[in-house]
Structure 1
Amino acid sequence: MSSRNSLVRRTSGSRGTGETVVAPAGPEPGWWSLSPERARTLLLVAARPTITAMTATVLLVLVVMLTTGTDLTSAPAAVAATWLAAHQVPLTVGKTTLGLLPLVPTAVLVWVAARECARAVPKRPTPVELGWLTGAVVVGPMLMTAVCLAVTGDASGVIPLASPGPISAFGWVLVLYLGAAAAGIASRAWSSLCALVPIEIPEWAVLGARAARRTVLRMLGCAALATVISFFVHLSRLDDAFRQAHNGIDVLGMTVLSLLYLPNVVIGAAGILSGAAVLFGAGSVGLFGVTGGHMPVLPALIPVPEGPASSWWIGLLLVPLAVGVLGGVELGRTSEDRPGAPWATLTCAALSTLTFLLLAILGSGQLGAVGWVGVDLLMLVVLMVTWFGFGGFVGMTFARRFLTPTAPAEDYDEYDEYEDDDYYDDDDYEDEDPADDADPVEYDDPAVEVDGELVEDFDDELEVSIAAPGSTDEPADDIVDVEVVESDLPDEDKTPGR
């Protein structure tokens, strides 16, 4: 039934009869009120990722401690420290500060939380529902972080593990899970998320954001390819990297640790390809030179080039430039708003650079006696915004003059991905109103006879009273007496007396 006749309600009786529809009276429920189904959904969103992550952490710590013969009395502190480290909270063991932490556990935790959040997004969410959902995503990890801080504080008198500052710990957890909530909501209700912005988002900004996502992925792909090639070029260093290993368990541990740090290495490679240097304390590695310094012995660092810098390394600057040109070509061919295309190019360059800045901050930190390890952030921002911006304008100009415009590609609908996802049990997130999922009954729109004239449409805001046959009751003064004329009834309904 079309929305224009949505106020005409049919009862369980004959479709030819009707009744007066009276809206339920009473105050609107407050923002704090939740249905039992919705409360259960939010509880799952808050608890399941946290419980899953903590269970995996406990199992990992126990396996490591049992295989290495460590006393299990320090297991609670080890579990708490592992949880904090997985959320990029810097740890201090003795006098050594470990701020350069692997990104693989962090990425997995954020991905699981984002998927859980996306699965629980209502079909037509309201701002209040999105606020409840965001709070549910954050509250579980925050509570677990508070417990871990208390455990590390109690264990600091037994083992040389200093309890991290609460501002740092809660700040990292809050930022990570707010990002997970935003990603999960955006994947299912992008329009609802944009509606929360107080100003209207121009079309060129949306196009620039989509192009920035592709630009970041292309640059990371090029950096990963360069890392793999450099690894095989310097494969002779593999024996030196495992020289400190005494047995097979040490080899396995160093290999797993290197895999966990692999995203950090790829982010550093992206910085080097842009022209920025990667700092290792007093030393640095870049396309324009290599300065000697103390570097950790780890298989993950085998791809790091050694000095002196070769002249052909400068040619690698064409990689970020080519990525920027490709993004500009796409915007030039698909953008229907020609005056807004340059702004879309600038938006793409700015958002891409901002994304790499955030990734570089996550992938850097203090590493004990080595010092601060990470990409030179200032040079990274200056160089990437230059390559992506300049290359984007070149590609956009070229596409406008020499290439045929094409229709913009439709965005990938991630809603279908979650619908077919086997990771979750659909019974955990039942619809709050089961009637919404029932198969709708198709009826032809009835024609309405008002004062002897057939009217096929009427105002939805008009309250309609459909008088039953033979009824002597007079309708209210402000209600129109109408008769529903069913024009196309199914064959089984065309019986005498109907």
Structure 2
Amino acid sequence: MSSRNSLVRRTSGSRGTGATVVAPAGPEPGWWSLSPERARTLLLVAARPTITAMAATVLLVLVVMLTTGTDLTSAPAAVAATWLAAHQVPLTVGRTTLGLLPLVPTAVLIWVAARECARAVPNRPTPVELGWLTGAVVAGPLLMTAVCLAVTGDASGVIPLASPGPIAAFGWVLVLYLGAAAAGIASRAWSSLYALVPIEIPEWAVLGARAARRTVLRMLGCAALATAISFFAHLSRLDDAYRQAHNFTDVLGMTVLSLLYLPNVVIGAAGILSGAAVLFGAGSVGLFGVTGGHMPVLPALIPVPEGPASPWWIGLLLVPLAVGVLGGVELGRTSDDRPGAPWATLTCAVLSTLTFLLLAILGSGQLGAVGWVGVDLLMLVVLMVTWFGFGGFVGMTFARRFLTPTAPAEDYDEYDEYDDDYYDDDDYDDEDAADDADPVEYDDPAVEVDGELVEDFDDELEVSIAAPGSTDEPADDIVDVEVVESDLPDEDKTPGR
């Protein structure tokens, strides 16, 4: 092998990459600077869910107006009001206030925004990148809400629609989409979001939060099952519910409206199972009694029981107690921290109760002449924290004494059902994809430097091969070396090598 055929240059690059990393000249870019690719990504996050939602709203309003023969001059105001109602902003038409709004459109909008945010989360995001992403998620809906408020204000002189207060409108939109941003970021970069918390979160709090999510889902599942059973038990009321419908359009409208209000009914059923009453203005429905009152005629309310209350209804209180016991059993079997397990159980009970409190607030409101409709919030908090807390401690104690401990289960992520190809959309250029590639390991050749054989040289050395016969003088930081094949077997050493 000819001598002086290799040059070794000290760089800050990685071994085996063959690239020289050059320190950028001048000051580093500030937090406000964005690359063109990242700016395009944030623009899509801000615009695409908003434009899609507005297009669906316009289409829905036009279909309803054309079907019912309504004059299209009020279409802009109807579109703006529908957008605000889908974000739980109370509306006032004439003297009637509509604050009890369906949750299905709201859930769909938040889900779409969260998915869009999850697709745009970079690998190993920085707090600045998460801030930009959160701002993009809320920017589009806030801008569209401002336009809708202006439209309803201009249309108030033509139709009896009062423009909602800007504080309530922007407040609802901001809270909803901040929750969507948090859900989307947590689904893809939970560790980065966890690192932003200024204090250290103990392990028992994390376990309690995961158990709370399972507890909420179980309780909602039990409430949905109870709603379905009650619906088929009172199926004879179906004719009375559709008695006010005069044609097929009215039947279809009432059916669709009932489906949109179905989550509100399930949340109310969860409150009733816990022992809290659901209020309908002056009336109420609960496990301990039913008070007569004016109730809207809607197929979605067929499952609501009528009085008087039966003694066996009290036995339904075992449902939230059983849900709490099951959560405690899981914590008792999977928690290795015995002193922290009771705190995890208490955390599960508190977070589950707070979640149901938020759901009850979303699923309640003013309903015209009926009055305030929704779960008794104070009784809901007291009863749910009692059932989940007491049942959790019972289940945890039982699991510790009689059950075999198991390894903690992997926390299920709703976004795991989608493979990585879902997120490899052309609209999102992953700037950090190259950083995630596993480096290729190469065997380091033995190098002879100034007559001395060196087998392991610095990882920060880059080997560049000079062209044969080159007359260029090496730089000051270049050392002449020769690659020596010292580990060849005897039979592979041929004369002349």
Distance 1:258 1:13, change over 3 A: closer
Distance 1:425 1:83, change over 3 A: farther
Alignment partner of 1:88: what SS?
A: coil
Query: For the residues of structure 1 that align with 2:296 and 2:5, how far apart are their CA atoms?
Result: 72
Distance 1:189 1:435, change over 3 A: closer
Q: Measure how far apart 1:91 and its partner are.
A: 0.1
Distance 1:305 1:34, change over 3 A: same
Match of 2:193 in 1: 193
Distance 1:386 1:452, change over 3 A: farther
Distance 1:450 1:11, change over 3 A: closer
Query: For the residues of structure 1 that align with 2:139 and 2:186, how far apart are their CA atoms?
Result: 20
Deviations 1:190-248 (A, max 9, x none): 00001000111111111001000000000000000000000000000000100100001
State which drifts further: 429-438 or 151-160: 429-438
Query: For the residues of structure 1 that align with 2:6 and 2:210, how far apart are their CA atoms?
Result: 37
State which drifts further: 432-441 or 80-89: 432-441
Q: Measure how far apart 1:34 and its partner are.
A: 0.5
Q: Measure how far apart 1:27 and its partner are.
A: 1.7
Q: Measure how far apart 1:28 and its partner are.
A: 1.5
Query: For the residues of structure 2 that align with 1:278 and 1:5, how far apart are their CA atoms?
Result: 86
Deviations 1:438-486 (A, max 9, x none): 7854424678899999999899899999999999999999999999889
Query: For the residues of structure 1 that align with 2:359 and 2:13, how far apart are their CA atoms?
Result: 63
CA contact (8 A) 2:9 2:479 kept: no
Alignment partner of 2:8: what SS?
A: coil
> Structure 1, unaligned stretches of length 5 or more?
none
CA contact (8 A) 1:96 1:368 kept: yes
Number of positions where the alignment pairs a residue of Structure 1 with one of Structure 2: 497
Distance 1:326 1:16, change over 3 A: closer
Alignment partner of 2:426: what SS?
A: helix
Q: Measure how far apart 1:336 and its partner are.
A: 1.0
CA contact (8 A) 2:11 2:460 kept: no
State which drifts further: 159-168 or 476-485: 476-485
Q: Measure how far apart 1:306 and its partner are.
A: 0.4
Distance 1:345 1:12, change over 3 A: closer
Q: Which has the higher contact order (CA 8 A, sep 6+)?
A: 2
Deviations 1:145-169 (A, max 9, x none): 0000000000000000000000000
Q: Measure how far apart 1:139 and its partner are.
A: 0.1
Query: For the residues of structure 1 that align with 2:115 and 2:444, how far apart are their CA atoms?
Result: 40
CA contact (8 A) 1:4 1:457 kept: no
Deviations 1:348-383 (A, max 9, x none): 001000000000000000000000000000000000
Query: For the residues of structure 2 that align with 1:189 and 1:64, how far apart are their CA atoms?
Result: 41
TM-score normalised to structure 2 length: 0.88
CA contact (8 A) 1:216 1:352 kept: yes
Taking the TM superposition and a 5 Å limit, the aligned residue runs for 1:139-178 are 139-178=139-178
Q: Measure how far apart 1:249 and its partner are.
A: 0.6
Distance 1:493 1:176, change over 3 A: farther
Alignment partner of 1:290: what SS?
A: strand
Distance 1:393 1:160, change over 3 A: same
CA contact (8 A) 1:134 1:181 kept: yes
CA contact (8 A) 1:62 1:75 kept: yes
Deviations 1:238-295 (A, max 9, x none): 0010010000110000000000000000000000000000000000000000000000
Distance 1:469 1:75, change over 3 A: same
Supply the RMSD in Å over aligned alpha carbons: 5.0
Alignment partner of 1:296: what SS?
A: coil
> Structure 2, unaligned stretches of length 5 or more?
none
Rg larger for: 2
State which drifts further: 474-483 or 357-366: 474-483
Deviations 1:384-409 (A, max 9, x none): 00000110000000000000000011
CA contact (8 A) 2:101 2:365 kept: yes
